[in-house]
Amino acid sequence: MFTKKILLTTTSIAIGLLLTACTSSGVSLENAYIYNDINFGSDRDTSFKHGVRDGCRTSDGDYTKDHNLFNNNASYKVGWEDGRLQCKGK
């Protein structure tokens, strides 16, 4: 009886571990904003995307920035800074 319990417990643990290894990592590209082969996150608004494009162009040597948006729109500013930093050297 004791051996049967140990075998059943061990088998249950092994199956549980195997099934856990097959689960998703939670990273979904369904709503991801990918620009220049870089994933900038999901569900980004238009201002952020505009900022990323301008920031990436800037990192390539073509200084592009909408100063009005940069100073007055937090989403554009974050996008521009992310784009400039992450696109550098690509």
Give the span between the Cα atoms of 70 and 90, in whole angstroms: 23
Side-chain half-sphere CA neighbours of 70 within 13 A: 14
pLDDT in tens, 59-88: 999 999 999 999 999 999 999 999 999 998
Give the span between the Cα atoms of 17 and 22, in whole angstroms: 9
Single pTM value for the model: 0.66
pLDDT in tens, 40-65: 988 899 999 999 999 999 999 999 99
Give the span between the Cα atoms of 81 and 51, in whole angstroms: 8
